[in-house]
Amino acid sequence: MKRLLASLLTASALALTATAAVAEEQDKTKACFIYIGPTGDFGWTYQHDQGRKSVEEAFGDKVETAYLENVPESAEAQRPIEGFARAGCDIIFTTSFNYMDPTNKAAKKFPDVKFEHATGYKRESPNVSTYSSKFYQGRYVQGQIAARMSQTGVAGYIASFPIPEVIRGINSFILGAQSINPDFKLKVVWVSTWFDPPKEADAAKALIDQGVDILTQHTDSTAPMQVAAERDIKAFGQASDMIKFGPETQLTSIIDEWGPYYVERVGAVMNGTWEQHDVWHGMAEGNVVMAPYTNMPDDVAKMAEETAAKIKSGEFEPFTGPIKKQDGTDWLKEGEVADLGTLLGMNFYVAGVDDKLPQ
Amino acid sequence: MILQLEKRPQASPLLSVLSPLLALLLTAAAGLIMFAILGKAPFSALYTYFIEPLTDPWMREQILVKATPLILIAVGLSICFRSSNWNIGAEGQYLMGGLFGAMLPVYFYELQSSLLLPAMLLMGMLGGALYAFVPAILKARFNTNEILSSLMLVYVAQQLVDWVVRGPWRDPGGFGFPGTRSFNESATLPKLWQYGDAHWGAVLAIVSALIMWFVLSKTLQGFKVTVIGTSPRAGRFAGFSAGRLTVVAFLVSGALAGLAGIGEVAGSVGKLDDKLSLGYGFSAIIVAFLGRLNPLGIVAAGLVLALSYIGGEAAQISLGISDRATRVFQGLLLFFVLACDTLIHYKISLTGLRQQKSQGAAG
């Protein structure tokens, strides 16, 4: 009996400390993140988690962060997002395209919580913002490098889903490559996943067997880089600097820097200045950063640097005519720059892509 | 020296009843050690994991949602396991249930009819049952090992579902993401209450558990299951056909797993996609044993396992514990359940090599 009493007392003491802790946390701003993959993917999710850490560094004690990893892009995502809103998160970042509907659904239920959905386009209530980066700017630079470095004149592209963001990247890459070598070809394999190392590796092997000697990817793991290293061809990293996984292999990588944006938005929640918006930052704002140009001759690196500098300063835009669509019809006239709407909803290939766009 | 399991002359009846609770306690103890190693305050972590979700009505509802497929599948498994038919392939039967049931709203996606939903549920049960029939008939006719055949068929079902949602059944307006069109309202299991997440699948799960409990404990059919399961020879003398029971047990089990599959598709998800398989078919094996193969116990066990999912998310949210911890807990739970059951019925004895040698000489 005594022991039972003692344990009851301990339990209630625990509960009391828990309530005290909750009261203390009320002053803190809570920023929460939903991830599609593990934080250790060393790609997409890893970079978002670096952004989360920047928020912690920037605000120290005034902020509290939390994350959920490996959240599937399905109806299963609804519960974690709502769970975050119920757990007292002030701002929730959902960092994959297909969290779009669950994010908007949760936003309607929790009007006081701010939602930030990465790479999406639906903002159904005033507490949902969308944000993305112009990764395609980096793809153009990579395309140019590929055309200079390739012996076979064919590069391989491991793609995830035929959403506009991915198609834009593919098109930008081939445009960059064709600006150097007009006959350059690009083979695409769709793996229908964001993160699945064995599948990504298989796709890499299949592409190499078809004669590509430069590999690039729009998936989140380092597996393609590792396959490229094994097979002794060159490759581009994705989302994060993957040089550790291919010291002799990586040419460069598009690094997604989410930190500044996350710090800005969490700060806005703290000041009460948060407002709905849709942003699309790129190299100019420091959201798209190129990893060091490695494993290539100096003149190629110099060319890449110059192109990146031009894109960054706004002097050059990758989607500038003349550009033909894959079916041979004209898309952009000489000197014409693509409008934002077409870019955001891009659902066609430009000429030179050796693949049929999945419908 | 050699470790041997020796059957105890008499298993303690008290411990037999307490075994699942004992397993839960041991799991909790192992969890405390795990949290301590992870550098979290062990007791408050355990509290977040297993108690806090129960204090919140929304989380309780989520537990019910998660428990629904687990209970349905495990209830079906109970008849299999009781009759010593080791159906390890409930996961595949669950997937085939989802696939068969989804066929109607996929091909007739504009159809609005009150008959649609019942037809889908029946199709789901049919799909699961047909898929379970394969290992059953192989065992009954050719004495094939049903553990292997049922397990291998899981992978076939996974690939099949994966293929249809990426290929022929893919939503034309879905940006290529694997999954069918979203079903319309008449193809969706209604929610239990407005604005809620719990759907009528939960009711189906409870009702099926009650029916199975009645059949197993109150009818001659149930008696046959127990007799053949515990002593096949006695069953044969009594004129019960083990082969027929194998087929029946697999059909029932498959049908319930199939119902769980279409229940998830039509209830929680609203379409068939490649994330239908979250390992419920395997987790349900833990549920079946934790519930002592008793359908009513399974209802409780299903809720416990669902708690481990929801608590795992809560712990990830508030403590930053990796989602892998959930799987560790489930593994520990099964391990301790089986260990407790084994050690209640058997004792470990150390046999000296010499003794073994002399036995060898004598034999």
Residue with tokens 């489930």: B330
Query: Nearest to residue B273, comparing CAs of A193, A199, A347, A37?
Result: A193
Element (H, E) at A157: strand A154-159
Q: Is the peptide bond before A322 cis (omega within 30 degrees of 0)?
A: yes
d(CA A145, CA A150): 8
Instruction: Annotate B229-245 with DSSP letters as a single string.
Output: HH-HHHHHHTT--HHHH
Confidence of residue B355 (pLDDT cuts 50, 70, 90): low
B127 vs A1: CA distance, rounded Å: 55
Q: Which of B316, B319, B322 to mutate to test the interface with A (most CBs of A within 10 A)?
A: B316
Residue A97: burial class (beta carbons within 10 Å; 0-12, 13-18, 19+): buried
Mean pLDDT for all residues in chain B: 89
State how far the Cα of A123 lies from the Cα of B158, in Å rounded to an integer: 35
Of A83, A97, A359, the CB nearest to B313: A83
CA diameter of chain A: 89
Give pLDDT tens digits for A18-56. 444 444 455 799 999 999 999 988 999 999 999 999 999
What is residue B5's predicted lDDT score, i.e. its pLDDT?
83
What is the share, in percent, of chain A residues with pLDDT greater than 70? Answer: 92
CB atoms within 10 A of CB A26: 8
Which of A153, A232, A217, A177 is CA-nearest to residue A351?
A177
Between β-strands A250-256 and A214-217, what pairing exists: parallel, antiparallel or unpaired? unpaired
Interface touch B43/A161, C-beta < 8 Å: no
CA-nearest residue to B312 within chain A is A68
Q: Do residues B50 and B93 make contact, with C-beta atoms less than 8 angstroms apart?
A: no
CATH 3.40.50.2300 residue spans of chain A: 26-133+258-281, 135-248+289-354
Average pLDDT over residues B21-42: 90
A135-248+289-354 has which fold? Rossmann fold (3.40.50)
Residues on chain A touching B268 (C-beta within 8 angstroms): 75
Instruction: Kindly report, residue by residue over A261-308, the tens digit of the pLDDT.
Output: 999 999 999 999 999 999 999 999 999 999 999 999 999 999 999 999
pLDDT band of B11, cuts 50, 70, 90? confident
Yes or no, beta carbons of A83 and B175 under 8 Å apart: no
Average pLDDT of every residue of chain A: 90
Least Cα distance to B79 among B240, B199, B221, B261 occurs for B221
- Residue B353: pLDDT over 70: no
Residues of B in contact with A75 (CB under 8 A): 268-270, 273, 275
Q: A72–B275: do the CB atoms touch at under 8 Å?
A: yes
In this predicted model, what pLDDT tens digit does every residue of B52-110 receive, in sequence order? 999 989 999 999 999 999 999 999 999 999 999 999 999 999 999 999 999 999 999 88
Decide if A224 touches B, using CB distance below 8 A: no
Mean pLDDT across B189-198? 84
Nearest to A84 among B59, B278, B317 (CB): B317
Distance from CA of A189 to the nearest CA of B (A): 13
Q: What is the pLDDT of residues B277-334, one digit of tens each?
A: 888 999 999 999 989 899 999 999 999 999 988 988 888 888 878 778 888 888 888 8
Rounded to the nearest angstrom, the minimum Cα separation between B140 and chain A is 38
Where are the extended beta strands (E) located within chain B? 2-7, 346-351
Tell me, yes or no, if A99 comes closer than 8 A to chain B by beta carbon. Answer: no
Q: How far is A320 from chain B (nearest CA, A)?
A: 26
CA dist list (Å): A75 to A5, A80, A267: 44, 10, 31
Band of residue B352 on the pLDDT scale cut at 50, 70, 90 = low
Q: What percentage of residues in chain A have a pLDDT greater than 90? A: 78
Give the count of alpha carbons within 13 A of B108, CB side only: 12
pLDDT confidence tier of residue A1, bands split at 50, 70 and 90: very low
- Asked if pLDDT for residue A344 goes beyond 80, the answer is yes
Interface test with B, best of A192, A199, A219, A348 (most B CBs within 10 A): A192
Cβ–Cβ gap B316/A70 under 8 Å = no
Band (A316; pLDDT cuts 50, 70, 90): very high
CATH entry, B41-320, from 3.30.1130, 3.30.70, 1.20.1070, 1.10.3470: 1.10.3470
Q: Are A296 and A147 in contact (CB under 8 A)?
A: no
Q: Model pTM?
A: 0.81
Burial of residue B49, with CB atoms counted within 10 A of its CB: 0-12 exposed, 13-18 middle, 19 or more buried: buried
Residue whose token pair is 């490695």: A294
**Who's near B46: CB < 8 A, 6+ residues apart?**
B28, B31, B32, B35
Assigned CATH topology for domain A26-133+258-281:
Rossmann fold (3.40.50)
State whether A70 and B175 contact (CB < 8 Å): no
- Whether B179 sits inside 8 A of A74 (CB atoms) is yes
Shortest distance between the Cα of A45 and any Cα of chain B, in A, equals 15
Q: Please report the beta strands in B2-134, taking only residues with DSSP state E, as ranges in sequence order.
A: 2-7
Mean pLDDT of B151-171: 92
